[in-house]
Each structure stands twice: as C-alpha cells, then as structure tokens.
Amino acid sequence: MLIAIDKVLTVDEVAGFRRDLAAAAWQDGALTSGTLARHRKRNQQLDEADPLARRLGHHILRLLGHHPLFVSAALPARIYPPKFNRYADEGTYGAHVDSAIMRVPGTDVVVRSDLSATLFLSDPDSYDGGELEIEGQFGVQAVKLEAGDMILYPSTSLHRVTPVTRGERLAAFFWIESLVADEGQRGLLFDLDQAIQGLTSKAGPEDGHLLALTGVYHNLLRRWAIT
C-alpha cells in the first residue's frame, strides 16, 4: 500500500531546506551502496554524520512524531534517521530492494525496514524525470510529489528512480520499523483507524458503536504489535 502524506514541510520550511542543501558537501551516493546496488546508483548523498544532515533529519522526525496520518499508517517503533540525496545530470538509481536490517551508525540500534519513505524537496516542475517507480501487485506506480509531500511504501517493494534529465531532484529518505510487521495487518489497522476518525466527526466520540469499533482497533493492535 502506498500512502501519500501532504505538506509534511511547509513552503517556508522547504525553502529553508533547499537553501541549506545548496551549500551542502555532497558525496558520491555509490559510497553507501552494497555491491549490487553500487552499479545501479548514480546520485549524490550527504554523509550521515554531517551536522546539516542531522539537523534537518531531526526536524523531520519532530514533525512526524506528531503527524496523525503518519502515525496511523506507520505505527512506528523505530525510525532510521533521515538521509538526503540529490539527482541531476542523468542521475538515476536502478531497480533495487532496500536492505531488511539496518544498523544506525555509531549506535547499537538496529532497524528492521518495514516501510520506506521519500520526502520530496524539489518542486516537480523544476526538474524532468526523477520519478520514484514502485512495483506492486497492481503494476508499477510512478510517484513525483509536490515539494514538502512524502510517500510511504513497503520496503519489500522493488523500486527505482528514473534519470533526471533537467534540473535537480532533492529529497530526504528513511526507513521505519513498525510495531506491526505484517503489511496486511498494518493495512487493516490503518483502514480501521481512518474509518473511526471519519465516524468520530459525524457520530461523536461517545457513540456506542464508535466506542466498540475503537475497542476492536486496540484489541487487534494488542494482538499484532511486536514490542
């Protein structure tokens, strides 16, 4: 399931990110790739230890910690700190699947990648190409969102970034370990939670049927969550 989350960053926040990233110390993205992915990856990334990457990443995580749609969709247990990349001059990343287990550098924290996230930082009309293509049960879906918007998708998905033939594509990307590892179970909980939120605005929080549905949600979460 692909879930688009609009306006994670405001227009002003995006502008500030882009100003900072314009002067960033970009490195060859292949330096962070495994043996197979290295030959498919042509982009630039910030070093994870770069103070700028850490500052911008922390800002994103602070916002997402209070974002109801993100919390509902991801049910996050751990999040790998956001990384930043840049595609330009035919930069691309061929088809690949993200690593299943990732250790946060300099720590003992290990993150199982259940969900992948890309937060777009460039206006879509400022560059050509650069679509994030994600393969799923209904075929390939091409994603190119407004600056400040984010896409969540299963880390098990085969995905690629098409060549950027004009301009530059800036983005943040990271991975989430969910409290509910099973994608199908997590999707059912998300649909149920969204339905409950929709009914709350109509029936009111004291409605008996709504309270019963809320109980079902939490009992399923209690059954399926890995803590």
All domains of the chain, ordered by start, with CATH? 3-178 (2.60.120.620), 183-224 (4.10.860.20)
Whole-number Å distance between alpha carbons of 117 and 174: 5
For position 127, what pLDDT does the model report?
98
Comparing CA positions, the residue from 119, 162, 173, 122 lying closest to residue 140 is 162
CB atoms within 10 A of CB 149: 20
Q: The dihedral of CA 184, 114, 142, 118: what is its sign?
A: positive
Tens of pLDDT, residue by residue over 181-215, are: 999 999 999 999 999 999 988 887 788 899 999 99
Whole-number Å distance between alpha carbons of 218 and 93: 40
SS3 at position 88: strand
* Residue 159 assigned ligand-binding role: yes
Comparing CA positions, the residue from 224, 91, 53, 219 lying closest to residue 167 is 91
* Residue 166 assigned ligand-binding role: no
Whole-number Å distance between alpha carbons of 67 and 102: 24
* Residue 169 assigned ligand-binding role: yes
Query: What is the pLDDT averaged over residues 54-68?
Result: 97
- Binning pLDDT at 50, 70 and 90, where does residue 163 land? very high
For position 137, what pLDDT does the model report?
85
Cβ neighbours of residue 40 under 8 Å, at least 6 residues apart?
92, 93, 94, 95, 96, 160
